[in-house]
Structure 1
Amino acid sequence: MSTLTTVEFRPLTIPASVDADDAADFIGMTLARNEIYREIAGDDDDAMTPEQLLPHYQSNPDEIRLIWVVVDAGRIVGRIGVDLPLEGESKNAYWIVELLRSHHGRGIGTAAYALVEDAARAHGRTVLQSWAEHPDAPGTRLEAPTGFGSVPEDRAARFYARHGYTLEQVERKSALDLTASRDAVDRILDSATAAAAGYHVVQWVAPTPDEYLEGYAWAKSRMSTDVPTAAMEFDEETWDAERLKRHDQRYLDGGQTALVTVAVEDATGTVVAFNELVIGRDLTAATHQEDTLVLKEHRGHRLGQLVKTAGLARWRSIAPDSPRVITYNAEENRPMLDINEAIGFVPVSYSGAWKKTID
């Protein structure tokens, strides 16, 4: 346990359920998380309930997740997290330090970050990577070395730079008005269906049907190799049926609904593209579009448009009162952004991807 004046960094106990006797810190962490994101973005689009979040923090064989809560005068005011993938001889660590605005400027973030590097070194990790939303602001901007996108040199950017990080990539957060976009979705779906000769759409609500476990798992593994990552480093992930079942179960345990739309090659029965839409128990909340991918060798047949619009069309019967869809894409990923913009997605904000290599 570390302290800084009245502040304590306390390892977070992960309870078996939100009703367990030891769940208070997890619930407090979730509330602080939601408030921090609300302060940054000005909305609750990224809010989650403790019930939704808890399954994603239970131990699993694919990664080690370390987390501390920042406690001041008995109140949880932030969190520190380090994710350590267990792919082969991984050298990567992904981390967050998040604090309520009322606790900025007291040196808490710097003290918290020391835990991040200590944890990375203890687990033999040398590549530290982190993402932060940078709300638009006047003044000096930092350009991504990819040549696509920039972020303001704000408090978060100065924090990363002070600790030896470089900006490697800019991600765009986009939103789609689900009502206003209906005509565009239908029009693009019709034309994409006509263009995608030799492929057909299959859809399901999680869990994944047994007949698609292996194919979808293989396609999921390609997210780590087939999307633009600039100089950020990701391990090539190994997905099989069991890992995919664990993935699905986290959403089910959290009371979330996940719609998967895939494109299947007629000749081989291979899953070659997919799109995911997710929402929690509150069907009036924002929907999140998670992974979307077309395998490299099957690009050029408008399959990205096909799976995205087919998913959005089906979503009307699943969450008809959800007002919008939120998604994230690298600024240099023009093929996917072109699809999004044609459908009606508009930019909302931008995030920086930051990286540091340690000895």
Structure 2
Amino acid sequence: MNTTTLTGLELRPLAVPADVSELETPAGHDFATMMDVRNRVYFEISGHHDESMSAAELLPHYQPNPDEIRFMWVAILDGEFVGRAGIDIPLEEGSKTAFWQIELLRKSWGKGVGSAAYELLENKAREHGRTVLQSWASHPAADGVEQIEPPTGFGSIPDDHAAHFYKRHGYSLEQVERNSAFDLRGSFEIVERLLAEATAAAEGYRVVQWEPPTAEEYVAGYAWMKSRMSTDAPSADLEFDEEVWDAERIARHDALWTDAHQFVLVTAAQHIATGELCAFNELVVGKDRAEASHQEDTLVLKEHRGHKLGMLVKCAGLVKWRELVPHSPRVLTYNAEENRPMLDINEAIGFTPIAYGGAWKKVLE
């Protein structure tokens, strides 16, 4: 699957080691090098290492998965690794979507590497009958650069190098995403006050928390809430398949974190009368507990909104998190700019914007 459209370029299919013991062997060379380049790309974009991951932490995410097919290539220009390109093909019945990424070191920009990689990705999508291609990219603030707004009317991004690439290949900006951070080292007075207020407002509900693997009593409810992430979260004109989650998928999801020795806390709101789980929040940190933490999914089921459950699970999670992971300096989270209810919660807690990203879409003819 190599391309020859650019002299000196090799797009080599990524060899994925079966386990971490192979990472320091010749068989794991490409994967380990790919991770190093990935982290360097993210640092070039953000100027910090909060998005960095070790090869061991990311390896479980590249193992065979019955929910999707993942194709990945490393970009090698004149003998040097300069980036990676990948595409995920969801396997939900009737799916017509594919999700892709191209990440390149800046020194390789403007040499045709990205376009050669994109040609490969679009061809792979067509081979699998996919007609809706979607991708996300960070767009760092840039003074004096014209801004682009999505059709939602919420947020904007600079018309930068990445935006030019997407537009040149027929993509439209559909949504702007905000990256926010919360300082775990500061005062928790506001968080504790908001937690008390949310607890009072959420009469008839209680907080339950667990660390994976998920206890049997919570599996069915957790699976249902995870399935709603694909339908209930604000998505502008982006397209997502309705996902089916069951006990096996929850077990696979949990293993992605535990197999990499990452630490996860799930905080949920439970309706006392029925035992139904109706809101949840996930926090995760890498094997190094002194790294930045990440807030993964957060959702309140539609039929339970209006009881401050979003505030409840977020604040309860942060209070417990500081106790469990005292050396992590901050929590990062991502939200659609039009998701005003969740942004209101984040802003009240003390999350502050640090970066913005664009969600791009193309429909193939």
TM-score greater than 0.5 by the shorter chain = yes
Secondary structure at the residue paired with 2:361? Answer: strand
* Match for residue 201 of structure 1 among 194, 204, 207: 207
Scaled by the length of structure 2, the TM-score of the pair is 0.97
Equivalent position of 1:171 in the other structure: 177
Q: CA RMSD in A?
A: 0.8
Matched, 1:355 2:361: yes
Distance 1:185 1:249 in 2: 30
Deviation at 1:53, TM superposition (A): 0.2
Matched, 1:24 2:25: no
Matched, 1:78 2:83: yes
Identity %: 61
Distance 2:281 2:359 in 1: 23
Equivalent position of 2:221 in the other structure: 215
Q: For residues 44-55 of structure 1, what are the structure 2 equivalents within 5 Å?
A: 44-55=49-60
Distance 2:187 2:133 in 1: 39
Give the number of equivalent residue pairs.
359
Q: Is the 8 A contact 1:205 1:259 kept in 2?
A: yes
* Match for residue 292 of structure 2 among 273, 286, 294: 286
| Structure 1 unmatched ranges of 5 or more | none
Distance 1:59 1:44 in 2: 28
Distance 1:313 1:203 in 2: 12
Q: For residues 6-155 of structure 1, what are the structure 2 equivalents within 5 Å?
A: 6-20=8-22, 21=25, 22-137=27-142, 138-155=144-161
Q: Is the 8 A contact 1:18 1:27 kept in 2?
A: no
Amino acid at match of 2:248: E
Distance 2:182 2:245 in 1: 30
Amino acid at match of 2:215: P
| Structure 2 unmatched ranges of 5 or more | none
Scaled by the length of structure 1, the TM-score of the pair is 0.99
* Match for residue 184 of structure 1 among 163, 187, 190: 190
Q: Deviations over 1:110-150 (max 9, x none)?
A: 11100111000000000000000000112211011101000
Distance 1:44 1:243 in 2: 31
Deviation at 1:179, TM superposition (A): 2.1
Distance 1:340 1:302 in 2: 13
* Match for residue 235 of structure 2 among 229, 237, 243: 229
Distance 2:8 2:275 in 1: 60
Deviation at 1:17, TM superposition (A): 1.9
Distance 1:18 1:242 in 2: 23
Q: Is the 8 A contact 2:86 2:102 kept in 1?
A: yes
Q: Deviations over 1:226-280 (max 9, x none)?
A: 1100000000000001100000001011110010000000111001000000001
Amino acid at match of 1:252: T
Amino acid at match of 1:116: L
Q: Is the 8 A contact 1:181 1:344 kept in 2?
A: no
Change over 3 Å in CA distance of 1:162–1:55 after alignment to 2: same
Secondary structure at the residue paired with 2:72? Answer: strand
Q: Is the 8 A contact 1:181 1:343 kept in 2?
A: no
Q: Is the 8 A contact 2:157 2:358 kept in 1?
A: yes
**Segment of structure 1 superposing worse, 298-307 or 205-214:** 205-214
Q: Deviations over 1:191-220 (max 9, x none)?
A: 111110000000011110011111100011
Matched, 1:338 2:340: no
Matched, 1:261 2:258: no
Deviation at 1:5, TM superposition (A): 1.3
Distance 1:344 1:270 in 2: 29
Distance 2:263 2:77 in 1: 36
Distance 2:146 2:256 in 1: 41
Deviation at 1:181, TM superposition (A): 4.5
Deviation at 1:23, TM superposition (A): 0.7
Q: Is the 8 A contact 2:268 2:277 kept in 1?
A: yes
Distance 1:295 1:191 in 2: 20
